[in-house]
């Protein structure tokens, strides 16, 4: 009858029968009832007893007899491994009674040629055989106690609910806005008192990030065509002034309020217009920067006219003038007139 199967061998191992014959073992060999497993020094053997458990490891220098008790298919009587034998029952009865010496309830140990006892007498080790106790799973009570029957101490501080912090939304970077504006200057107004001047406000919006600044700094050092002349633009950050200078000198200037966008455009010299035209136009680029430094660009279109602005005749209404003549003054004036000879 097969007791175990060899599933791993390190070193050498043999199976010895009742007559003392040795059979060297290999992986896959079986050990029969009545044989003894013999392992060489430093050897290691793993056996599968077919009991559904993990493999059993036998180290080197061991001799293990294959008895029927090792067969997983052989039933074992409960009396062979029961912990409630006669001696234990007598011991438990003596404990319950609480009288006398417990050692009086046990049989005296037999003397033998075995190893000596421990330093204080008795055995130096204890060997336990297999034990098994039947447990009825239905005998356990897993019902919990009722919450109403639990008493809590009154001096326990109540736990305060911790409010979770609301997630902080990261601010969204807003952007300013800038549009297109228009202005007009007239050469003929240079001859009038006050000159040719235009005032207005640039089209812009700083946006949700708040006020920043407005200016024409981006045009500093650039050039452009005004009429028939090429001009160079210069920006003065201290006075927020943009100046256009041509071959004949300064042509016009623009002063802007960096906070409100209000500007004043002044013509400093007449524009040299192309032949057969009375108009010349340019575009000036300005930059709007919001409170956190985000920029955007807009434009100011300037038109230069050669003539004075005219009045539409259709807009004029009829009117009358009344004159009065003082006769006394008229007679005195006429009496003083001297006639030249021959007249």
Backbone angles phi, psi at 170, to 5 degrees: -70, 135
Name the pTM for this structure.
0.43
How confident is the prediction along the chain (343 residues), in pLDDT tens digits per residue?
A: 888 999 999 999 999 998 989 999 999 999 998 899 999 999 999 999 888 888 899 999 999 888 877 766 666 565 655 555 666 777 777 777 776 666 666 666 655 444 555 555 555 555 555 555 555 555 556 566 555 666 666 666 677 777 787 887 777 778 999 999 999 999 999 999 889 999 999 999 999 989 999 999 999 999 999 999 999 999 999 999 999 999 999 999 999 999 999 999 999 999 999 888 889 999 999 999 999 999 999 999 999 998 755 555 555 556 555 656 566 555 554 545 455 555 4
What separation in angstroms does the CA of 39 have from each of 4, 35, 68, 70? Answer: 15, 13, 20, 18
Q: Which CATH class is domain 177-305?
A: mainly beta
Q: Where in the chain is the domain with CATH 2.60.40?
A: 177-305
Structure-token match 């806005």, residue found: 177
Asked if 288 contacts 295 with a C-beta cutoff of 8 angstroms, the reply is yes
**Which uninterrupted H or E stretch holds 38?**
strand 36-39
Angle at 236 between CA 235 and CA 241, to 5 degrees: 80
């Amino acid at each position: 009858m097969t007791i175990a199967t060899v599933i791993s061998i390190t070193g050498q191992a043999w199976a010895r029968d009742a007559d003392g014959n040795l059979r060297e073992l290999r992986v896959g060999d079986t050990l029969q009832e009545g044989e003894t497993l013999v392992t060489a020094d430093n050897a290691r053997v793993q056996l599968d007893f077919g009991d559904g458990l993990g493999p059993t490891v036998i180290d080197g220098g061991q001799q293990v007899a294959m008895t029927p008790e090792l067969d997983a298919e052989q039933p074992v009587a409960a009396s062979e491994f029961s912990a409630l034998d006669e001696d234990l029952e007598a011991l438990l009865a003596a404990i319950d009674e609480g009288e006398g010496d417990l050692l009086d309830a046990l049989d005296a140990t037999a003397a033998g040629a075995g190893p000596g006892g421990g330093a204080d007498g008795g055995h130096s080790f204890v060997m336990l055989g297999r034990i098994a106790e039947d447990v009825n799973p239905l005998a356990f009570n897993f019902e919990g106690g009722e919450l109403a029957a639990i008493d809590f101490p009154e001096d326990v501080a109540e736990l305060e609910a911790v409010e979770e912090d609301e997630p902080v939304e990261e601010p969204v970077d807003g952007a300013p806005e800038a549009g297109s504006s228009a202005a007009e200057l007239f050469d003929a107004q240079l001859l009038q008192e006050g000159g040719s001047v235009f005032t207005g406000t640039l089209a812009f919006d700083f946006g949700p990030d708040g006020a920043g600044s407005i200016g024409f700094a981006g045009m500093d050092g650039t050039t452009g065509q005004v009429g028939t002349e090429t001009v160079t633009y210069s920006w003065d950050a201290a006075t927020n002034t943009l100046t256009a200078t041509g071959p004949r000198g300064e042509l016009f200037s623009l002063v802007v309020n960096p906070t409100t966008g209000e500007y004043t455009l002044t013509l400093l010299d007449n524009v040299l217009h192309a032949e057969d035209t009375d108009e010349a136009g340019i575009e000036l680029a300005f930059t709007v920067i919001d409170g956190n430094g985000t920029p955007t660009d807009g434009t100011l279109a300037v038109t230069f006219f050669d003539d004075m602005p005219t009045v539409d005749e259709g807009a004029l209404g009829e009117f009358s003038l009344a004159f009065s003549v003082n006769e006394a003054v008229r007679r005195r004036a006429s009496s003083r007139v001297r006639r030249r000879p021959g007249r």
